[in-house]
């Protein structure tokens, strides 16, 4: 009985699964909201939702508009708020420029004088000495502190321009936290364990922190996941994120369609979008590519390089008016040479 049911639900050979998937995702997509919502004042992280997020994922944009991370912890830590908070303090990026009241650059002696903001320092439990230590770590920089005044001097000055570049970099540098993470919020899941949601992401650096469970911590930027965890994890992130985006809108799409899309996007070993630079642009057939977008470009390139079209796909066979290779049209009849010999003998 289970066998029969299994056979009933499996896909028939020759079924146009890609087209079905495209329609199954595309039609509900027309009902999605175009606007990105911002909820001000709530203790949450801004994430893009709805159609913009879906487009971002499917087009495989290199830099998502609002990247975010979910950070999970090892067993001993995840249920203890104090320990989670300790790690949390290491996450949020605090730049030097946000810790000062003002600064003065002396280009002649290549000295940057910073006037630290005491209240801000107290907020992050920092001392001016810590800042000096952090600055001194930079190559070719000398730092010293007198009360709230911190002086950073460049040892070897080359040109005015390079001096200024260093100053700007110093001001922008992160004193505590991880570059790219602008906000981090501790949240509690249903089973009582804590996890952190961040705005901005830097997976590579975050999983280096001890106490973080690297098997569950993830970024919602597929490219970053690909770099840190590999292509399979990136595929799972793409599928998960598309699924989540669609489900949030109150629409149901079977996972198989989304999974197929994610599979195809990741089938080249790197993440490719669905558009003309990705999946559609990588089709083998000239006619199929020309039928999609940039018709003239594809014909010109094909004629210059002497490309061949084997007429195996669907689009090119519709173009030339032949039977398409789907369903029963996919079945081909071939005769063994030995059989022909037998026939001719008769």
Partner 1 sequence: MEPLKLIPKHEVLSDSAAKAVAKKLNTPIDKFPKILASDVQAKLLNAKPGNMIAISRHDPAGEYAYYRIVVPG
Q: Tell which positions 62-101 bind partner 1, by CB under 8 A.
A: none
Burial class (CB in 10 A: 0-12, 13-18, 19+), 252: exposed
- For partner 1, the closer CB: 115 or 254: 254
Q: Give whichever of 117 and 205 is closer to partner 1, judged by the CB atom.
A: 205
**Which one, 18 or 259, has the nearer CB to partner 1?**
259
Pick out residues in 201-260 that bind partner 1 (CB under 8 A).
215-216, 218, 225, 227-233, 236-237, 239-240, 243-244, 247, 254-256, 259
Residue 2 beta carbon to partner 1: minimum distance, rounded to whole angstroms: 13
Inter-CA distances, 141 with 4, 138, 152, Å:
74, 6, 7
CB of 215 to partner 1, least distance (A): 7
Give the binding-site size for partner 1 (rule: CB under 8 A): 28
C-beta neighbour count of 5 within 10 angstroms: 9
From candidates 147, 269, 306, 321, binder to partner 1 by CB under 8 A: 269
Could you please report the per-residue DSSP string of 303-328?
HHTT------SHHHHHHHTPPPSSGG
- Of 80 and 216, nearer to partner 1 (C-beta) is 216
Give the HSE-up count for residue 144: Cα atoms under 13 Å, Cβ half-sphere: 5
Nearer to partner 1, 142 or 240 (CB): 240
Q: Residue 218, SS3?
A: strand
Per-residue buried b or exposed e for 175-194, using 16+ beta carbons within 10 Å of the residue's own CB: bbbbebbbbbebeeeeeebb
Nearer to partner 1, 136 or 270 (CB): 270
28 binds partner 1 (CB under 8 A): no
CB-wise, 97 or 236, nearer to partner 1? 236
Tell me: does residue 54 bind partner 1 (CB under 8 A).
no
First-residue to last-residue Cα distance in the chain: 48
Beta carbon nearer to partner 1, 133 or 270: 270
- Dihedral, CA of residue 291, residue 294, residue 295 and residue 300, to nearest 10: -140
Distance, in Å, from the CA atom of 90 to the CA atom of 209, rounded to the nearest integer, reads 9
Query: 234: which residues sit within 8 A by CB, 6+ positions away?
Result: 222, 223, 225, 226, 266, 271
Three-state SS for 139?
coil
Closest to partner 1 by CB, 270 or 300: 270
Report the C-alpha gap between 325 and 331 in whole angstroms. 8
Binds partner 1 (CB under 8 A): choice among 85, 122, 268, 340: 268
Residue 284 makes contact with partner 1 by CB under 8 A: no
In whole angstroms, how close is the CB of 241 to partner 1 at the nearest point? 10
**Ramachandran angles phi, psi of 71, nearest 5°:** -110, 125
CB of 237 to partner 1, least distance (A): 7
Among 15, 27, 263, 293, interactor with partner 1 by CB under 8 A: 263
Calculate the alpha carbon distances from 31 to 47, 81, 261 in Å.
20, 41, 20
The minimum distance between CB 221 and partner 1, in angstroms, equals: 14
Interface residue with partner 1 among 270, 295, 300, 327 (CB under 8 A) is: 270
Q: How far is the CB of 269 from partner 1 (least distance, A)?
A: 4
- Would you tell me which residues interact with partner 1 (CB under 8 A)? 215-216, 218, 225, 227-233, 236-237, 239-240, 243-244, 247, 254-256, 259, 263, 266-270
């Amino acid at each position: 009985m289970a066998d029969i049911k299994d056979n009933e639900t499996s896909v028939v050979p020759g079924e146009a699964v890609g087209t079905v998937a495209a329609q199954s995702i595309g039609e509900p997509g027309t009902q999605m909201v175009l606007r990105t919502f911002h909820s001000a004042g709530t203790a949450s992280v801004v994430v893009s939702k709805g159609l913009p997020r879906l487009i971002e994922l499917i087009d495989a944009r290199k830099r998502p508009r609002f990247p975010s991370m979910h950070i999970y912890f090892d067993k001993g830590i995840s249920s203890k708020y104090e320990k989670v908070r300790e790690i949390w303090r290491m996450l949020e990026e605090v730049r030097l420029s946000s810790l000062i009241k003002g600064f003065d650059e002396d280009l002649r002696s290549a000295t940057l004088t910073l006037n630290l903001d005491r209240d801000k320092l107290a907020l992050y439990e920092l001392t001016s000495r810590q800042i000096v230590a952090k600055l001194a770590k930079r190559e070719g920089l000398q730092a010293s502190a007198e009360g709230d005044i911190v002086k950073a001097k460049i040892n070897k000055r080359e040109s005015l321009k390079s001096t200024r570049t260093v100053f700007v970099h110093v001001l922008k540098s992160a004193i505590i936290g991880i570059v790219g993470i602008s906000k981090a919020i501790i949240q509690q899941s249903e089973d009582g364990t804590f996890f952190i949601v961040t705005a901005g992401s830097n997976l590579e650096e975050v999983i280096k922190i001890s106490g973080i469970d690297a098997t569950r911590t993830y970024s919602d930027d597929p490219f970053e996941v690909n770099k840190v965890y590999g292509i399979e994890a990136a595929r799972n992130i793409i599928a998960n994120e598309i699924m989540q985006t669609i489900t949030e809108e109150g629409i149901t799409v079977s996972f198989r369609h989304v999974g197929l899309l994610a599979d195809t996007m990741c089938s080249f070993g790197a993440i490719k979008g669905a558009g003309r630079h990705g999946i559609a642009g990588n089709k083998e057939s000239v006619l199929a590519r020309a039928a999609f977008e940039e018709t003239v470009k594809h014909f010109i390139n094909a004629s210059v390089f002497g490309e061949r079209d084997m007429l195996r796909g669907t689009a090119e066979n519709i173009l030339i008016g032949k039977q398409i290779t789907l369903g029963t049209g996919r079945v081909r009849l071939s005769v063994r040479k030995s059989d022909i010999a037998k026939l001719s003998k008769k």
